[in-house]
Amino acid sequence: MTTAIYPGSFDPVTVGHLDIIKRAAKLFDNVIVAVLVNMEKKPWFTIEERTGLLKKATQGIDNVEIAGFDGLLVDFAAQKGASAIVKGLRAVSDFEYEFQMALTNRKLDDTLETVFLTSSAENMFLSSSIVKQVGLLGGDISTFVPEEIKDEILLRIKQRSQMK
Ligand code: PNS
């Protein structure tokens, strides 16, 4: 049985992430979507909120599990018996950063392979930062995020805009 980890900040999950999750779920027996800490980012949502949003967005996909972990990705993967890390790749700009992370993770654990799935063409531009930026400036984010969690994201955008 092959288990893959799809790690990320997911702050919040977008339709681009969901597309990668669905496609990874067809390739692997089990996919664990792991909300991890990116020390470079200041998240809007707590790990618990992000896992909650992911659970709602992935309801009905049988072989997908959601988890949060505050530590090294390779340690989480070992704990779960995973053999692969799945990452979505949008454009050339993602490559250097993703390549560095893949090589770091392989250096830390050479039994783990990173598998890149290219983003769908319609999601090439999309990121969690774009959702937050467009939302904060009053733009329509309804096609950027899964319908089931749109209202929760809009509520956080409203709260953040009141902090400005
Ligand atoms: O969605 P992101 O922010 O690009 O995801 C990056 C993430 C969270 C997967 C990465 O920062 C990570 O793996 N964090 C856990 C800590 C870790 O293992 N760091 C070493 C690998 S670079």
Domain ranges of the chain: 3-124
Q: Which of 9, 17, 87, 119 is catalytic?
A: 17
Q: What is the pLDDT of residue 142?
A: 97
- State how far the alpha carbon of 72 is from the alpha carbons of 43, 59, 100, in Å: 18, 27, 15
End-to-end CA distance of the chain: 49
Q: Digits of tens for pLDDT over the chain (164 positions)?
A: 999 999 999 999 999 999 999 999 999 999 999 999 999 999 999 999 999 999 999 999 999 999 999 999 999 999 999 999 999 999 888 999 999 999 999 999 999 999 999 999 999 999 999 999 999 999 999 999 999 999 999 999 999 999 86
The span from the CA of 68 to the CA of 94, in Å, is 23
Q: Domain 3-124 belongs to what architecture?
A: 3-Layer(aba) Sandwich (3.40)
Q: Which of 9, 87, 119, 128 is catalytic?
A: 128
Tell which one of 6, 36, 85, 112 to mutate to probe ligand 1, the residue whose CB is within 8 A of the most ligand atoms. Answer: 36
Q: What is the pLDDT of residue 93?
A: 82
What type of residue sits at position 121?
A: A
Best CA proximity match to 9, nearest among 58, 44, 56: 44
pLDDT tens-digit map of 78-122: 999 999 999 999 988 899 999 999 999 999 999 999 999 999 999
